[in-house]
Chain A
């Protein structure tokens, strides 16, 4: 039943997809107002990518191709969401998408750095971030649970993220500097 060919292409797809997934997810996230939206579009995009994998030209970059597919999925999805939501207009979505595609980078170094930097954060900030990013968490509920105002919680999350951003940038730079020069 399964021809080796299909197994091969499946494995190949998994390899490509796995490597591109963080960047693809970040890409979709940046074009849509919320995680719920991004999750749905990511799901659709993954399926379309698999279905159309046989049309993918192996000489081109998988991530670039995935970005093209994702952009269509975002635009398609965008039209279905309520007008009163804070969704960027199509023009801006297109522009952001084009620029992300240009600087497409699997973001692997950033992901490694994030793990290091998260560990460096004070324990309570780590816990707070984890609680806030847990799927389904409502900030208001979380704030109530820990006895803070939502505004205060947001502020503290913003602060943590800023610390992470700075740390990640330094870590990535250090990593680059410590590598032997490659052309």
Chain B
């Protein structure tokens, strides 16, 4: 049964026969079902091949000309393509005419036309921020929404729970329970179903909430809609709204009025208590939900500190604002306490309950001294990155980078990296193991869980983000390392170059904060790392 509609939806898509509803249905299936996407690609690949094949046959004659124009037609002898031809003809002609130099120069990308800048453009493209979620479950299961996420145009389909979206225009919208909200622009959204409450401060006046039965223009207010197949109810809690409907006059409603969009008959009956959640309620709920996550972490963390594999464990929850000590709660004790230098205490993952250290001032750092020799190492922390300002942005670095020591950092392009020194003083004596970029500007200000594992037994480095492995690399024969050290080092910076002959004096302070940091003398399993993330997420 399932295959038949999908198959016919795809065919109709290719034929441009889909109705709006069918298109929506196809899009929905494709979003949630990887098998369906595979099937979709299979059909579209054939469509592309047919187009190419048939178009190619018709162009065969023309090719005689364009092959002659090419200096060396060999690589393209079987090709008959209008795309390439359009590109290649002017190219070939300019080659023959000796104009290639000019052509290449004139087509040099301007600085603003690079791939990276295009990429940043898409990263920053968005109209709103998903600011809070409480027990939110989404209809597209594999769609990973996160707090702080910048939202471009598109649908937010909530299955249950609550989500708060702040539009760049200043309007705040709370989506409640099963609902479908489409973000259209910084000041426009479409509610296709479900409960949506909008708070629109004066600065954001003119916010439009469209519904299937009519559009609501907000004149600075607080209102809510409840849309389903049976009803389209609107309630104005405060202020004034305008309702625009097809072939009908614009009508205004004010504080306390409720009405059904279809009838436009205003009543003054208040909505059922609790029918719509307010921002204040949301604040309360948010605090409560944060509290339970904090308690979960606390309990887990108390247990974790007994783990014999811990070398040092800093939980950042010892409250004493003037204390410049970062307490080590692992059994190794106060010898391994950190010394806070310049770093500021700020709100951590649960701002009211525990702190984090912010390393914004250039010289800020937390110094530790951990003597001894180890084998495998696991570095793990919760970090909030505001931006990657430095070429290298420090998580944890040993001062001298002697044989056996490690540097754990994030490169300016977002790649998480672990560098290991296997032969100090030799050219190529250290090697860096990179993860693909794990951070971009859209994640600015979010708490993320980072873990890197150096396994001496397997001779490999694995990086994890939010409990999932993002890269795994075997260490090459000549670069292997069996004994590791930590020695004197720093969390959040690297600024004590002790060797006189070392020309490096790099500024590597992290523009962000760290909340919870641990080093294990073992290669933690993927399961354990996922557990660290799940028990610790805010």
Contacts and interface: CB of A to CB of B under 8 A. Distances in A.
A133 B55 contact: yes
B49 A110 contact: yes
B266 interface: no
B224 to A, nearest CB: 25
B41 A99 contact: yes
Contacts of B46: 114, 161, 164-165, 168
B115 A68 contact: yes
A103 B88 CA distance: 28
A137 to B, nearest CB: 10
B77 to A, nearest CB: 9
A170 interface: no
B31 A25 contact: no
Contacts of A18: 75-76, 79, 84
A154 B49 contact: no
Contacts of B71: 7
Contacts of A86: 13, 16, 18, 20, 23
Interface in B79-126: 79, 81-84, 86-88, 91, 95, 98-101, 104, 107-109, 114-115, 118-119, 122, 125
B45 A30 contact: yes
B79 A29 contact: no
Given A114-B53, A133-B51, A139 B44 contact: no
Given A26-B45, A29-B48, A86-B23, A95 B54 contact: no
B259 to A, nearest CB: 29
A82 to B, nearest CB: 13
Given A43-B86, A92-B31, A133 B152 contact: no
B139 to A, nearest CB: 13
A2 B101 contact: yes
A107 B75 contact: no
Contacts of B23: 86
Classify chain B's interface size: 35 or more
Given A11-B75, A29-B47, A95-B37, A52 B101 contact: no
B81 to A, nearest CB: 6
B100 A1 contact: yes
Interface in A69-124: 69, 72, 75-76, 86, 88-92, 95-96, 99-100, 103, 107, 110-111, 114-115, 118
Contacts of B143: 91
B374 interface: no
Contact of B115 (A47, A72, A130, A139): A72
A10 B90 CA distance: 13
Interface string B183-216: 0000000000000000000000000000000000
Contacts of B54: 129-130, 133-134
B58 A134 contact: yes
Chain B interface secondary structure, helix, strand, loop or mixed?
helix
Contact of A114 (B50, B81, B107): B50
B83 A39 contact: yes
B53 A26 contact: no
Given A6-B101, A90-B152, A25 B72 contact: no
A26 B49 contact: yes
Given A18-B79, A91-B31, A55 B51 contact: no
A115 B91 contact: no
B20, B58, B108, B122: most-surrounded residue (chain A CB, <10 A): B122
A22 B87 contact: no
B238 interface: no
B251 interface: no
A46 B477 CA distance: 41
Contacts of A130: 54, 57
A15 B75 contact: yes
B100 A6 contact: yes
Contacts of A29: 44, 47-48, 51
B165 to A, nearest CB: 15
Interface string A38-58: 110011001110111001000
Contacts of B317: none
A11 B72 contact: yes
A63 to B, nearest CB: 14
Given A99-B37, A161-B43, A89 B155 contact: yes
A180 to B, nearest CB: 25
Interface string B13-36: 101111010010001001100100
A25 B83 contact: yes
A46 B84 contact: yes
A154 B8 CA distance: 11
B87 A43 contact: yes
Contacts of A75: 122
Contacts of B47: 26, 29, 161
A91 B100 contact: no
Nearest to A90: B152
B41 A96 contact: yes
Contacts of A22: 48-49, 52
A91 B150 CA distance: 12
B154 interface: yes
Interface in B215-259: none
B42 interface: yes
- Which 8 A-B residue pairings sit nearest by Cβ, starting from the closest? A26-B48, A30-B44, A133-B54, A89-B154, A1-B98, A29-B48, A86-B23, A72-B118
12 contacts: A10-B95, A14-B76, A18-B79, A22-B52, A25-B48, A29-B48, A50-B107, A72-B122, A90-B153, A99-B41, A107-B49, A133-B53
Given A72-B122, A90-B125, A95-B37, 17 more contacts: A3-B101, A7-B71, A11-B72, A25-B48, A30-B44, A42-B83, A46-B86, A55-B114, A68-B115, A86-B13, A89-B153, A90-B152, A91-B152, A91-B154, A99-B38, A158-B15, A161-B43
Interface of A: 1-3, 6-7, 10-11, 14-15, 17-18, 21-22, 25-26, 29-30, 33-35, 38-39, 42-43, 46-48, 50-52, 55, 68-69, 72, 75-76, 86, 88-92, 95-96, 99-100, 103, 107, 110-111, 114-115, 118, 129-130, 133-135, 139, 154, 157-158, 161, 164-165, 168
